[in-house]
Amino acid sequence: MESPDIPVSQNESERLDALKRYNILKTLPEHAFNDATALVSYICGVPIAYITFIGQNRQLFKSEIGLDASKGPRQITFSRYTIMDTRLVEIPDTLLNERFRDDPDVTGGLKIRFYAGVPLTTPDGYNIGVLCAADNIPRELNDSQRTALLIVARHVINTLELGTKNSELARQKKIAQRAVAAKESFLANMSHEIRTPLNAIIGFTELLAGTRLNEQQSSFVKDVQTAGDNLLLIVNDILDLSKIESGGLTLELQPFDLKKALRHVYDLLKVKVPKEVEFNLYLDAELPDMVSGDQGRLNQILMNLAGNALKFTQEGEVNIAVKKTGQTDEEYLIRFSVKDTGIGIPEQQLKAIFERFTQAEQNTTRKFGGTGLGLSIVKELVELHGSSIQVKSQEGGGSEFFFTAAYKKTFQQAGQQQTQSVNDLGSLRILLCEDNRLNQKLAQNVIEGFGFEIDIAENGEQGIELLREHHYDLVLMDLQMPVSDGYQTTSFIRRELKSSIPIIAMTAHSFVGEQDRCYDAGMDGYVPKPFKQHELLQAIKTVLKKEPRSARRPKADLSRIEETDLIKPGWKKEVTSKFIEKAPIEVQEFENAIKAGDFQTVLHRAEQLQIWMHLFLLESLSMHLAGIEREAIQKKFTAQTADSMEILYCSIKEIVQDLQKQEIA
């Protein structure tokens, strides 16, 4: 029997029946729940997070962080009150709360000073458990964190619902598949919810930095910009994990100056080095200047590794060392090392440090900061390079992280792209389709700052009416709008209005493949939020310099090949002749492999074709090819595959004909 002072719901019998329906009390913790508690701990910045389900006389901790509990009497938990509510319960300081200030887990035990709990409510309205976040110090959640808790709580219930709707022959497999999809959707939606206000924060801060400020004001603005950029890095880290898991993250192979890239990483980090630490970059004399690879992902790996080394080194030195260890006819083998004299890692923790949301010690996050995601992303990115990350470390004696990666040889020079924030386009009239008032105000200030005129539509339908009534040079299209979203609006503009006006997508979402989807829908450019002014202006310049969409078809750009021809005479003729001879055959073999469902051959042929795409700067065809590669990785071809294959086949045929005419001429 329960004591009379324990609150019990009026429909307690039905509530217990709902709990039994999920068979929770007899099952072990599952990864979906562990991921949810890890997200709650990370999002709310608290050391304690747990999911608990309340039975008649006991509670069961399905997943927990910061507790050492599996079962507990129902009458000693905070959750007994939360489960009686219908909304989020938040107690910023338990010692100031009349109900909880004398609770044993406040005065002793867990010493909880902050508590937030969301009841886990079934679709038919019964509260069967609680999702909780707690801390040993007072704190208060912001609106984004509260929204996140509600979303995670719904995610937990959805996970349980999935379990009841699938048979036991296929139950675990389907739960895992749908949990991944739910997680990706959750991460993408959370990205949108965070990026939307962050776009305004970063954008208005950039505008403020461009005004006349005194020294103290300028310092404050720089601090806000740094905080905003750091938050954006955290959001991007989470999204990268989602993309890696879904197979949507691939390396973009382009020629780049390796030494210049390494010095750039060093220069970015050295401004934050404490006076007591010596920071060095050692480059092997035999290191090549130019290689072909993904410079952005290499930067990301080294920024994470060197950033960690600097964070955990109070005195001594941090060294980045890069050395060529070998080469073949086609590639260089290059060893990257980041070594420090910092706090080191205990031997028993070495295997766990690459796990997501994990750091070597429980107090590391509170003392040094960080999300516990950096090394997990490094591991995935290094493996994407066909290598593996290694670590040597001793507690109190420093650490060394190192890996060896292969980079293709190249005769090409890196593109000399200079970012210009100067408007040399003259007078333009731009239509902005955007429903968020803050983002409207931000875009208006930025666009007018460029010297352009701007009209604003709050949804797609208003945008279409304005396009019917006025002439515009460009449309900036938000994807998430009421009434008619960005995709629907773009489709109407292209198909019904028969307009080829340049359209740039602007979105705070970051679904895998969304950029490709925008281009396929008929858009000409893509600017993710938060955006910097120079990024938006560069995107506007890029789309306005392109041919009208109705007249556009892929054409080979020989500029890179001609640059190499100056260094290596005869290169242009050799490359174009091989393309004319081999590309049509390779495309045919590629199509045959798709029809046969031979995923491995498709990936192999796609890799060969991508080389041609990069040589001839066929970016649009490269994106179609990348889409087919993603479907081959997922081992599932769709109608989109057939469309992309048709575009590839026809485009390659036309390009070959163009090159043959040039040879004759």
Question: What is the four-CA torsion angle of 184, 370, 88, 103, rounded to 10 degrees?
Answer: 140
Of 488, 481, 480, the residue nearest 521 (C-alpha): 488
Q: How far apart are CA 492 and CA 503, in angstroms?
A: 12
Q: Give the per-residue pLDDT at 1.
A: 32
**How distant, in Å, are the alpha carbons of 478, 482, 495, 623 from that of 458?**
10, 8, 22, 31
Q: What is the DSSP string of 565-629?
A: HHHSTTHHHHHHHHHHHHHHHHHHHHHHHHHTT-HHHHHHHHHHHHHHHHHTT-HHHHHHHHHHH
Strand partners, 71: 60
52: three-class secondary structure by DSSP: strand
Q: How far apart are CA 249 and CA 382, in angstroms?
A: 12
Q: Give the per-residue pLDDT at 389.
A: 92
- The one-letter amino acid code at 523 reads M
Contact 524, 546 (CB under 8 A): yes
Q: How far apart are CA 182 and CA 204, in angstroms?
A: 33
Instruction: Write down the pTM of the prediction.
Output: 0.43
Q: Give the per-residue pLDDT at 67.
A: 80
* CATH fold of the domain at 12-165: Beta-Lactamase (3.30.450)
Q: How far apart are CA 202 and CA 122, in angstroms?
A: 39
Residue 61: its H or E element: strand 58-65
Q: Residue 620 half-sphere exposure, CB side, CA atoms within 13 Å?
A: 19
Q: How far apart are CA 321 and CA 262, in angstroms?
A: 10
Q: Chain centroid to CA 412: how far?
A: 30
Is the Cα torsion angle 212, 213, 219, 222 positive or negative in sign? negative
402: three-class secondary structure by DSSP: strand
In the chain, where are the structural domains located?
12-165, 254-408, 429-551, 559-664
**Homologous superfamily of the 429-551 domain (CATH):** Response regulator (3.40.50.2300)
Buried b / exposed e along 182-195 (16+ C-beta atoms within 10 A)? bbbebbbebbbbbb
pLDDT by 10-residue block (mean), the chain, 665 residues: 51 82 63 82 90 81 76 58 86 91 86 92 89 93 90 86 63 66 67 72 81 83 71 66 62 84 83 86 92 86 89 91 92 95 85 64 46 74 90 90 92 48 75 89 88 93 94 92 88 87 82 69 83 84 68 69 78 86 89 86 85 80 81 77 76 84 70
Q: What is the DSSP string of 501-562?
A: --EEEEES---TTHHHHHHHTT--EEEESS--HHHHHHHHHHHHHSPPGGG-------HHHH
Contact 209, 221 (CB under 8 A): yes
Contact 282, 319 (CB under 8 A): yes
Strand partners, 280: 319
- The one-letter amino acid code at 59 reads Q
Q: Give the per-residue pLDDT at 248.
A: 57
Q: Give the per-residue pLDDT at 417.
A: 41
Q: Residue 271 half-sphere exposure, CB side, CA atoms within 13 Å?
A: 6
Q: Give the per-residue pLDDT at 227.
A: 67
Q: What's the burial of 285, exposed, middle or buried (CB within 10 Å: 0-12/13-18/19+)?
A: exposed
Q: How far apart are CA 381 and CA 436, in angstroms?
A: 35
Of 362, 361, 396, 390, the residue nearest 375 (C-alpha): 390
Residue 13: its H or E element: helix 12-21
Q: How far apart are CA 85 and CA 78, in angstroms?
A: 12
Q: Give the per-residue pLDDT at 622.
A: 80
Q: Does domain 254-408 have CATH number 3.30.565.10?
A: yes
**How distant, in Å, are the alpha carbons of 79, 88, 195 from that of 116?**
10, 7, 24
Q: Give the per-residue pLDDT at 368.
A: 44
Q: How far apart are CA 100 and CA 282, in angstroms?
A: 58
**How does DSSP classify residue 349?**
G
Q: Give the per-residue pLDDT at 404.
A: 95
Q: In what order do the strands lie in the sheet with 127-135?
A: 71-73, 58-65, 48-54, 127-135, 114-121, 89-91
Q: How far apart are CA 73 and CA 362, in angstroms?
A: 27
Q: How far apart are CA 528 and CA 202, in angstroms?
A: 13
Residue 441: its H or E element: helix 437-450
